A and B are shown apart, each in its own frame.
Chain A
Amino acid sequence: MGYVLKRLLLMIPTLLLISFVVFVIIQLPPGDYLESYIAELQAQGESVDMEKVAYLREEYGLDKSFGEQYLSWVTGFVQGDYGYSFEYDLPVSEVVGDRMYLTILVSVLTIFFTWIIAFPIGLYSATHQYSWGDYGLTFIGFIGLATPNFLLALVMLYFANVYFGTSIGGLMDEAYINEPWSWGKIKSVLEHLWIPVVVIGTSGTAGMIRRLRANLLDELHKPYVTTARAKGLPEVRLLLKYPFRVSLNFFIADIGSMLPSIISGAEIVALVLSLPTTGPMLLGALQSQDMYLAGSFLMFLSLLTVIGVLISDLLLAVLDPRIRLEGGVKK
């Protein structure tokens, strides 16, 4: 208990430090949001009223010093005020809106997809090491890992459009955007969903297969396995009950990085597929230096990472006695 409390308290300075770094990095590129804005208008040929820009600079607080901007953002953040998005002319909390749910949907499904594919293949590969099946599946896995996601996304978009008539990009047919949920809408979402799930899932799957295989192989040749087998334990039960459970450590450790990825989605793929998720929004915010939107978003991701790491540490301790801390001096 004391340990958990200590970890929680440690999170505060960590997050403060992260918030500072995030803010500095966002401010690093020359200029500010208004300069990006002027440049964009100018590219179009639209005129810019310098007085209006002066007004906006004051209104958005961009004329204040770095310290003041940072302080007002951080204090606001703690109170649940995430600042104002210049680009959308709305409070940050209102900008994110629906995108969050769709992102979570895509990510959670992707994670399940990864597991469903990766676990059986990993198990098979490890138990049939150096067999044709192992080589074949490993080969496919590596292809998944090596193909750039965005390319795969484009190829699949094309085929889905040509053969299934699915509209290109997005998560649903345009007619359903902003409409209340209905069967038609759910069907349309499912029709579109599989592409991002498969595309984002492939590389994760390949990685997971490799790790599961390696971890399992470590265990499979340990004496306790031989003992169990000698005692006549059925092969499948033996595998699932002992070595498999031990080899799951990496999987639990992954939770730390999984939590933020649920929220952020895969940015590049989401951009290519024009998904209504948070990824493209974050990229856009960074490009146009919409600093409070980008900053608040990055802070959320950091918060989730920190929490995720804590959770996976605790779970690991529960799962694997070797990691437990109560043992005190364990060398």
Chain B
Amino acid sequence: MLSKMTVKRPGKMKVKMKSNLPRLLATLLVVISGSALAIDPQPPETPLIISLESPMQAGVRGGTLRMMMAKAKDIRMLNVYGYSRLVGFDTKFELQPDILLGYESEDDRVFTLHLRPGHRWSDGSPFTSEDFRFYWKDVANNTELSPFGPPKSLLVDDQPPLFEVLDELTVRYTWKTPNPHFLPLLAGPRPLYIFAPAHYMRQFHPYYSDAERLEVLQKEAKKRNWVALFKSKSHPYKMDNPELPTLQPWHNTTYKPSDRFVFKRNQFFHRVDSDGQQLPYIDEVVVNIVSSSLIAAKSRAGESDLQARYIRLDNYTFLKEGESQNNYQVRFWRAARGSQFALYPNLNATDEQWRTLNQNVNYRRALSLAVNRHEINQVIYYGLATEGGNTVLPESLLYQDKFMNAWTQYDPAKANKLLDELGLVERDDRGIRLLPDGRSMEIIVHSAGEETEETDVLQLLHDHWMDIGIKLHIRPSQREVFRNRVFSGDAVMSVWKGLDNALPTSNMSPWELAPYSQQQLQWPMWGNFYETGKGNPPTIPKAIRLRELQDEWEHSTSKLQRWDIWQEMLDIYSDQVFSIGTVSGIMQPIVVSNRLRNVPQEGWFSWEPGAYFGVYHLDMFWLDDSKGVQ
């Protein structure tokens, strides 16, 4: 240990000399932030004013909101629900400045971000361009913290941006080519963080903190090295470090492990209502960790004021029954997925016969035509769902009927004809078609086996496909096993949810429609090729075209151009039936306490875009009984 130190010394001395100044600054800042506590808690000088649209009413501050989650890790949802982002989506899913006072973008290439004067972190320290500089210089470009350099999403054609601090409240990112990803990523439910609370994180950084102190801290946390220590302290998204200052409406006050997390209002939060009252209205959010199977039952007992996570459609009648007794209301929001369940033929399956078929568009179309979506809707979803393919929802501006209806009209005769034309005419004595090599066409659909609903849908599908001479078997397994089977090509077909982002605007990336990542179940190997360079490039022209369009979008400069790209991609994706959708627009029951105000009657319960309650401003919700306290 000692010899190690002495070896390092000569090099380190120089660094230390240099680092004295920033360290001095750091201590100075700590002193300042100490005195900042004396500053009255207040929003920035120019706060973000949220206008109350009727029927929303100005609320009264105070009260405790109770929620339930199934795992301690789920407290990150408070970051999602709080949805305080540099820029964020509004309820129409358009980008608006949020934490930022404003931003300018030149051709989506040069982004100048303006911070709010007087904006402070939840601990009262000023939020300035130094926080951006610290992240860029000392985190993203630190060779130990980020051995691979800045996050990939900040690179365009493998080139990082030029980062400049213009003044205390202004920073600029400049790329050589357009980067339309940048702003939507900042607005994501799990956002790209390009800043960090420098005044707090410095103590874990060897450039600012002295070695002995860092070692003590590292021992305390039982970490192997300072990198591990730094990383465990600096998760802004996870909200699991009560000491980490935040810009969210509520900050965590409970150390893990715990079964109850208490979030207190951020007294420096940057939003106010139109009367000038600082948000959030609610003082305290309590998250109780309860096993997921009990969440519906406990909601019915009135033990949650706002609950949607872990509540399913089939809990609806059970919850509805308890409404009046326990003073809550069940509302129906809609889940924004391209399809509740979609089948993914694996175009990279290892079995050659099946791969050839899966890559054949008419085969995929036949499978889709044979699905009786109306029956699925009536039997499982009380007829409340929308029947159609796996594509964007009608509420998206990019929607066209032809995407939803392409090859989704139930027509077993046509499906049979398509299959006959493929030469799959021979059948065995059960009436099941035979593959060219004589095996019968029995498709094993791999599923993660998590929901009974999924099995129900597949059971119906089994009957539908029997009519076209194809037998379906369900193979439930565990999530990881399931995914590995798809990635390796063992699985010929899999079932999973549809498009994650089914309410896109043209400014959002259309990556889900093109080979992009290994996680895509219909072409994991093609996706892997673009993600990591392993895997194989796509071989069928339409998939290649989708990828070209994706690349075009990534370099696009105008909204109009992006619009055209989206339209063409949606058209190809639906017409080629790269995934077989079933039904969409499923209802999501939401339990809302009668005391809780300003919760919209209807809304999208959507992860992306929407951040679940995020775009509906959880900070604007308020509790009516706090009136009595006043």
Contact = CB atoms under 8 A, between A and B. Distances in A.
B614 to A, nearest CB: 13
Interface stretch (B34-42, B65-73, B371-379, B555-563): B65-73
A272 B257 contact: no
B260 A59 contact: no
A307 to B, nearest CB: 27
User: What's the interface size class on B, roughly?
Assistant: 35 or more
A284 B70 CA distance: 11
A284 B291 CA distance: 10
Given A30-B480, A36-B480, A274-B290, A178 B297 contact: no
Interface in B257-279: 257-260, 262
Contact of A177 (B190, B259, B480): B259
Interface in A42-88: 42-51, 54-55, 59, 84, 87-88
Contacts of B66: 174
Nearest to A30: B481
Interface in B465-517: 478-481, 483-484, 500
Contacts of A168: 294, 297-298, 301, 303
B301 A167 contact: yes
Contact of B72 (A47, A88, A91): A88
A44 B532 contact: no
A232 interface: no
A254 interface: no
A271 interface: yes
B176 to A, nearest CB: 22
Nearest to B337: A45
Interface in A76-135: 84, 87-91, 94-95, 97
A51 to B, nearest CB: 4
A264 B333 CA distance: 41
Interface in B295-333: 297-298, 301, 303
B573 interface: no
Interface in B556-602: none
B532 to A, nearest CB: 7
A19 B12 CA distance: 44
Contacts of B478: 29
A147 interface: no
A177 B286 CA distance: 11
A30 B484 contact: yes
A40 interface: yes
B519 A42 contact: yes
A196 interface: no
A243 interface: no
Interface stretch (B131-139, B145-153, B618-626): B145-153
A174 B301 contact: no
A35 interface: yes
A157 B297 contact: yes
Central interface residue in B148, B294, B500, by most chain A CB within 10 Å: B294
A29 B484 CA distance: 12
B303 A59 contact: no
B606 to A, nearest CB: 9
Interface string B206-233: 0000000000000000101001100110
B608 interface: yes
A59 B222 CA distance: 13
A99 to B, nearest CB: 8
A302 B484 CA distance: 33
Contact of A169 (B262, B286, B290): B290
A161 B254 contact: no
Central interface residue in A35, A45, A50, A91, by most chain B CB within 10 Å: A45
B291 A271 contact: yes
Contact of A43 (B224, B479, B481): B479
B480 A88 contact: no
Contacts of B92: none
Contacts of A295: none
Interface in B141-164: 147-148, 151-152
A89 B232 CA distance: 7
Contacts of B152: 49, 51
B240 A45 contact: no
Central interface residue in A36, A39, A54, A94, by most chain B CB within 10 Å: A39
B306 to A, nearest CB: 15
Contacts of B72: 88
Nearest to B519: A42
Given A88-B72, A271-B291, A36 B298 contact: no
Central interface residue in A51, A54, A284, by most chain B CB within 10 Å: A51
User: What's the interface size class on A, roughly?
Assistant: 35 or more
A170 B257 contact: no
B484 A31 contact: yes
A55 B147 contact: yes
B226 to A, nearest CB: 12
Contacts of A174: 66, 260, 286, 288, 303
B293 interface: yes
A276 B259 contact: yes
Central interface residue in A54, A97, A169, by most chain B CB within 10 Å: A169
Interface string B604-630: 000110000000000000000000000
B463 to A, nearest CB: 28
A95 B254 contact: no
Contact of A39 (B290, B301, B480): B480
Interface string B58-79: 0000000010000111000000
Contacts of B479: 36, 39-40, 43
A49 B66 CA distance: 32
A51 B148 contact: yes
Contact of B151 (A30, A31, A49, A158): A49
B256 interface: yes
A144 interface: no
A162 B448 CA distance: 36
Central interface residue in A35, A47, A95, by most chain B CB within 10 Å: A47
Nearest to A162: B301
Contacts of B256: 88-90
A286 to B, nearest CB: 12
A280 interface: yes
A325 to B, nearest CB: 45
Contacts of A177: 258-260, 288
B260 A178 contact: yes
A97 B257 contact: yes
A265 to B, nearest CB: 14
Contacts of A59: 224, 227-228, 231
A25 to B, nearest CB: 15
B607 A44 contact: yes
A90 B257 contact: yes
A91 B229 CA distance: 13
A100 to B, nearest CB: 12
A79 to B, nearest CB: 13
28 contacts: A29-B480, A30-B481, A35-B480, A36-B480, A39-B483, A43-B448, A47-B190, A51-B151, A51-B152, A54-B148, A55-B147, A84-B222, A89-B232, A89-B240, A94-B257, A157-B297, A161-B301, A167-B303, A168-B298, A169-B290, A169-B297, A169-B298, A170-B290, A174-B303, A177-B259, A177-B288, A274-B294, A280-B291
Interface of A: 29-31, 35-36, 39-40, 42-51, 54-55, 59, 84, 87-91, 94-95, 97, 157-158, 161, 167-170, 174, 177-178, 271-274, 276, 280, 284
Given A168-B297, A273-B294, 8 more contacts: A42-B483, A48-B519, A59-B231, A90-B256, A97-B257, A168-B301, A169-B291, A274-B291
Q: List the 8 closest A-B pairs by CB distance, nearest first.
A: A177-B260, A274-B291, A45-B500, A39-B479, A31-B480, A45-B607, A51-B148, A35-B480
